[in-house]
Amino acid sequence: MKAGVPRGLRQVVCLRLGNLSCRWASGTQPKASKSGLEEKQRKDRVKWRQLEHRGPYFAPAYEPLPEEVQFCYDGKPVKLSLAAEEVATFYGKMLDHEYTTKEVFQNNFFNDWQKEMTVEERCLIKHLDKCDFTEIHRHFIDKAAAWRALPREEKQKLKEEAEKLEQEFGYCILDGHREKIGNFKMEPPGLFCGRGDHPKMGMLKRRIRPEDVIINCSRDSKIPEPPAGHQWKEVRSDNTVTWLAAWTENVQNSIKYIMLNPSSKLKGEKDWQKYETARRLKGVVNEIRSQYRADWKSLDMKKSQRGVALYFIDKLALRTGNEKEESRTADTVGCCSLRVEHVRLHRHANGHQHVVELDFLGKDSVRYHNCVPVEKPVFWNLQLFMANKDPGDKLFDKLTTSSLNKHLQDSMDGLTAKVFRTYNASTIFQEQLQVLTRAEDSTAAKILAYNRANRAVAIYCNHQRAAPKTFEKSVRNLQTKIQAKKIQIAEAQEELRKAEVDHRIKGDGKSKRILEKKQRLLQKLEEQLGHLSTQAIDKEENKHVALGTSKLNYLDPRISIAWYINLSWGPCGRPGLFCDKDVPDQMSLMLSSMPQVLPPLSFGMVWGGTSNGLEHEGQVAAQPTGSRR
DNA sequence: TTGGGGACTTGCTATGAAATAA
DNA sequence: TTATTTCATAGCAAGTCCCCAA
């Protein structure tokens, strides 16, 4: 990249560029769609002509425990059969994990474990609380420690073997291009770790054999060889799908796939299309917003519920909320599946009128808790929807996700509820970058601005994380550094003062040089302090916010690039150059010539969306709170 | 119209490599 | 050189949305 660009700033955007350059660069991106029809045609057309790969890499066979590692039952050592021992190691490995303290996990594990036992073992081992897995647990801890302690050469050797494996199994040929596969290693057997209060947690995920796997490749390609002595469940050639191999997992009875890496042309094109669809939404979003406002007044409950639900989806980034099988998954909801018990209405709260309090577990059992002032008709409608219902009843009982999406399709081809998340996320990101960035700021301040814009989106999407384990310690370390820097600055100030006096007395060239040197030192130290302080703020603000998901899935990379280039090379002298129509071609040109010449562009025209009216600064203060339950 | 399966995207955590500081 | 921190990504769970059959 071009020299002279502040290093830190480059780093923060390189994260996006790196992602983008492999996903969209090399001229692989499709042209921007001219119409919804074209997009549909592209979606429906045959996806590939040639697909060749080596098939999945299977997990190594179970390696029995050494003789000295014993499992004990009721205080006595018991030599388990191989199958039972293997499942016991799954539990033993997890002994220090919270999962093994949960009753559901324990019961499911024990139930499935018993199925793997011999008749004699089943007669003997009746209660989990009499099982002692501590030696097994210690064995795996020691094994991990031994691995860490391996000499550098040994580790290097293992690394080279892994690389060789990746070269062999980790790539496929798709229409003449060598593409990276996302997950070429078959998932090893283990215990199912569902999130939240998942009723199936602890169940045995059984080992997948070649006989369970369907291979997808082109007819004329070299069919992957199954491991010796085995055969595939099926070999097919379906060029309307993108997966290379598929199998059904036993816990949830769902299909799992081997697919391409996000860096592949195929995934990159889909990613591109996603953002183009979201950008098309800006052309109709005002109309949709007017429509859902009009629907609030409708006497038809279907319409008024749909209007309020769309308002939530648009304003609060709620997920669509498909129906789920109650007894087989954790109890999580989205917009359409909200229940009365998830909503509380406050006529006055926190100095606002018509406040809606939403409190529910969303995707991955992450808690969404938000008190948000809403428009008056929304408030009264909600009151109506909740009237005469039990807490466990559906809030939007006349609404389904399919009817909602069908309605959206009428407004725009390809529009579904989840497009609003992408659209609003990227719009907020661009707006926040504009608001928070000043050209005259230091690099550290610009990085902070970038991260804050990213954070505004992550908060909007309720992307949370558990605070890193080392968080408190690293904050302390940073504070120590700040204090040390302050002391250094005080000393430098004192030395500068002395140098000034010395120069005033002597007035010669040497004392002048010393004075200038001290001034430079002080300036440098103050800059370093500024950088450290900014880092501390950034770290603290980011304690519970996960930036990665929005960065990867919701923020159009072109916004980052436009911002970065604008800050590095100044605003565009040719307004209108980067107008919507030209975005893909401009990006293509820009990326292909990234190291040499970068065309000017006008930041602010990449998306140029219409805000959803949410006060993002305000929402940061009243952000959804809570964590996984 | 509905329910379920299939295909795909989104999301969080753990881990290990690379970068950075001491 | 070593310790610590940061960052990318592997791993896999859990969503969304489309399609098809009953």
> Is A153 part of a structural domain of the chain?
no
| Same domain, residue pair A75 and A112 | yes
Q: pLDDT band at A624, cuts 50/70/90?
A: low
Whether A565 shows a pLDDT value over 70: the answer reads yes
Q: pLDDT band at A481, cuts 50/70/90?
A: confident
Report how many domains make up chain A: 5
Q: What's the Å distance between residue A575 CA and nucleotide B20 C1'?
A: 41
| pLDDT (0 to 100) of residue A610 | 54
| Same domain, residue pair A270 and A301 | no
Q: pLDDT band at A449, cuts 50/70/90?
A: confident
| Mean pLDDT, range A116-133, rounded to an integer | 96
- Tell me the nt nearest to A190, Cα to C1': C12
Q: Which of A514, A534, A554 is the last residue of a domain?
A: A534
Q: Is A490 helix (H, G, I), strand (E, B) or coil?
A: helix
**Strand B bases contacted by the protein (CB, 7 Å):** 2, 4, 6-14, 17, 20-22
**Strand C bases contacted by the protein (CB, 7 Å):** 4-19
Whether A116 shows a pLDDT value over 80: the answer reads yes
| Same domain, residue pair A162 and A138 | no
In chain A, % of residues over pLDDT 70: 83
Whether A251 shows a pLDDT value over 90: the answer reads yes
Confirm whether any atom of chain C, the nucleic acid strand, is less than 7 Å from CB of A30. Answer: no
DSSP structure string for A152-177: HHHHHHHHHHHHHHHHHHSEEEETTE
| Same domain, residue pair A366 and A306 | yes
Q: Is A205 helix (H, G, I), strand (E, B) or coil?
A: strand
Worst-scoring range by mean pLDDT, A104-118, A289-303, A342-356, A581-595?
A581-595
Q: What's the Å distance between residue A397 CA and nucleotide B10 C1'?
A: 26
| Same domain, residue pair A143 and A204 | no
In chain A, % of residues over pLDDT 90: 56
Q: Is A464 helix (H, G, I), strand (E, B) or coil?
A: strand
Q: Tell me, what amino acid is at A55?
A: G
| Same domain, residue pair A55 and A195 | yes
Q: What's the Å distance between residue A449 CA and nucleotide B11 C1'?
A: 24
Q: What is the pLDDT of residues A391-405, one digit of tens each?
A: 999 999 999 999 999
Q: Tell me, what amino acid is at A245?
A: A
Q: What is the CATH number of the domain that holds A186?
A: 2.170.11.10
- Residue A77 in tokens: 């050592």
Whether A9 shows a pLDDT value over 70: the answer reads no
Q: pLDDT band at A618, cuts 50/70/90?
A: very low
Taking C1' of B12 and every protein CA, the nearest residue is: A465
| pLDDT (0 to 100) of residue A492 | 86
Confirm whether any atom of chain C, the nucleic acid strand, is less than 7 Å from CB of A586. Answer: no
| Same domain, residue pair A169 and A245 | yes
| Mean pLDDT, range A555-559, rounded to an integer | 89
Taking C1' of C6 and every protein CA, the nearest residue is: A474
> Is A64 part of a structural domain of the chain?
no
- Tell me the nt nearest to A11, Cα to C1': C7
Q: What is the CATH number of the domain that holds A309?
A: 3.90.15.10
> Is A280 part of a structural domain of the chain?
no
Q: How many helices (H) and strands (E) does chain A have?
A: 20, 15
Q: How far is CA A118 from the centre of its chain?
A: 43
Confirm whether any atom of chain C, the nucleic acid strand, is less than 7 Å from CB of A418. Answer: yes
| Same domain, residue pair A564 and A608 | yes
| Same domain, residue pair A10 and A130 | no
Q: Is A85 helix (H, G, I), strand (E, B) or coil?
A: helix
Q: What is the pLDDT of residues A197-216, one digit of tens each?
A: 999 999 999 999 999 999 99
| Same domain, residue pair A503 and A584 | no
> Is A358 part of a structural domain of the chain?
yes
| Same domain, residue pair A458 and A477 | no
Sheet (strand A131-132) strand order: A76-78, A71-73, A131-132
Length of chain A: 629
Confirm whether any atom of chain C, the nucleic acid strand, is less than 7 Å from CB of A549. Answer: no
> Is A17 part of a structural domain of the chain?
yes
DSSP structure string for A323-350: ---GGGS-----STT-BGGGEEEEEEET
| Same domain, residue pair A438 and A495 | no
| Mean pLDDT, range A10-16, rounded to an integer | 43
Strands (DSSP E) found in A342-453: 343-349, 352-361, 367-373
A247: β partners? A256
Q: What is the pLDDT of residues A326-335, one digit of tens each?
A: 788 999 999 9
Measure the CA–CA gap between A590 and A558, rounded to whole angstroms. Answer: 10
Q: What is the CATH number of the domain that holds A508?
A: 1.10.132.10
Measure the CA–CA gap between A321 and A401, rounded to whole angstroms. Answer: 7
Taking C1' of C12 and every protein CA, the nearest residue is: A187
> Is A65 part of a structural domain of the chain?
no
Measure the CA–CA gap between A308 and A315, rounded to whole angstroms. Answer: 10
Contacts of A423 (CB under 8 A, 6+ apart): A278, A279, A281, A282, A285, A609
Measure the CA–CA gap between A100 and A482, rounded to whole angstroms. Answer: 41
Where in the sequence is the domain holding A400, given as residue range(s)? 285-411
Q: What's the Å distance between residue A466 CA and nucleotide B20 C1'?
A: 25
Confirm whether any atom of chain C, the nucleic acid strand, is less than 7 Å from CB of A182. Answer: yes
| Mean pLDDT, range A610-617, rounded to an integer | 50
> Is A102 part of a structural domain of the chain?
yes
* Cα A573-A577-A582 angle, rounded to 5 deg: 160
Q: Which of A490, A511, A534 is the last residue of a domain?
A: A534
Measure the CA–CA gap between A325 and A51, rounded to whole angstroms. Answer: 36
Q: Which of A130, A148, A166 is the last residue of a domain?
A: A148
Q: pLDDT band at A4, cuts 50/70/90?
A: very low
Q: pLDDT band at A31, cuts 50/70/90?
A: very low
Whether A16 shows a pLDDT value over 70: the answer reads no
Taking C1' of C13 and every protein CA, the nearest residue is: A194
Q: Catalytic residues of A, which ones?
A: 554
Measure the CA–CA gap between A184 and A213, rounded to whole angstroms. Answer: 13
Whether A25 shows a pLDDT value over 60: the answer reads no
> Is A539 part of a structural domain of the chain?
no
Q: Is A484 helix (H, G, I), strand (E, B) or coil?
A: helix
